Structure 1
Amino acid sequence: MCSHGYALLRRWYGMLGLSRQSPSSWYRDRLREELRERRTARTPWQKLSETSDVFFSINRARYDGFPVRKLPPFVASRHILVYAYMLAKYTLRWKFYRTAAIRCNTPHYDLVREVVNPSKDHRLDEVATRHQIDPVVFKRVGRQLRRVWPLLP
């Protein structure tokens, strides 16, 4: 990827403001998990989604200072769709949680910076717990939002 592309990704990861994880093995574990899911993907749509997750994991580790693997050389014809999908998928998730926190009247909604899959109720519980939001209310709001929010698998 060209330096402009890396600069864009650095700015994007900065906007997401995800918490740095500890220990550093967390990044390797996430990448292994995403690679496993990528190998089991069957449809082109699943492969695109899982490939975007792999790229996200590699780029996030790099951004957080724990490079776990190099990305394949950027080839626009092969990777532009993966990066576009990745940016859309994780930005929509990030904004979903922000919106849910606002709708729950969370005083510091701007500290809610999450990108886990909100289509799963247990993820809503986890996020609510991490941010001291009433999980019952947050889950109700999250379920309402899921009916209208554009989320990519």
Structure 2
Amino acid sequence: MRSTGNTLLRRWHGMLGLSRQSPPSWYRDRIREELRERRTAITPWQKLSETSDVFFSISRAQYDGFPVRKLPRFVASRHTLVYAYMLAKYTLRWKFYRLAAILCNTPHYNLVREVVNPNKDHKLDEVASRHQIDIAEFRCLGRQLRRVWPLLP
């Protein structure tokens, strides 16, 4: 399962096509931040969400060539839900931004590859700015899309 799982994760990260981050310490900092948030999670839902963020940060670092940590050894009874949640959460965010870019008539919408939480207006603004999309239009459209788009916390 481990090699099959790794192959699937590599393909998924390839589909997301997120930009490599610089400096390399960015990956270590993200993992530390996600681990802190995981420790402060209280409800089972929060713990699942934060655990998926930790797994995502570790797998992204590995995919981008900065293996700061290893993913925990896969145990179906403990990790199936985490991986399913992670794949759904980040894929939905990625598709959210892609659709928002299409609806804004962004000429190169296929270059919009983002997974930051779109529930925050300032994140919509940052994404619009990174991709030279009209910020006000993108924010307005993002707010409308959030009403109907299934996003996981």
Question: Which TM-score band applies after superposition, normalised by the shorter structure?
Answer: over 0.9
The match for 2:65 is: 65
Instruction: Map Cα deviations across residues 47-104 of structure 1 (whole Å, 9 max, x no partner).
Output: 0000000000000000000001112111011000000000000000000000000000
The match for 1:3 is: 3
The match for 2:33 is: 33
The match for 1:97 is: 97
Q: Which shifted more, 40-49 or 69-78?
A: 69-78
Separation of aligned partners in 2, 1:73 and 1:63: 17
What amino acid maps onto 1:141 in structure 2? L
After TM superposition, the score normalised by the length of structure 1 is: 0.99
The match for 2:55 is: 55
Gaps of 5+ in 1: none
Separation of aligned partners in 1, 2:146 and 2:98: 13
Q: Counterparts in 2 of 1:1-153, with a 5 A limit? A: 2-153=2-153
Question: What's the % identity of the aligned pairs?
Answer: 84
Separation of aligned partners in 1, 2:93 and 2:120: 12
Separation of aligned partners in 2, 1:99 and 1:70: 33
CA RMSD between the two structures: 0.6
> Equivalent residue of 2:132, what SS?
coil
Structure 1 runs (4+) greater than 4 angstroms displaced: none
After TM superposition, the score normalised by the length of structure 2 is: 0.99
> Equivalent residue of 1:85, what SS?
helix
What amino acid maps onto 1:91 in structure 2? T
Instruction: Map Cα deviations across residues 116-147 of structure 1 (whole Å, 9 max, x no partner).
Output: 00000000000000000000000000000000
> Equivalent residue of 1:71, what SS?
coil
Separation of aligned partners in 1, 2:73 and 2:79: 9
Separation of aligned partners in 2, 1:72 and 1:93: 24
> Equivalent residue of 1:86, what SS?
helix
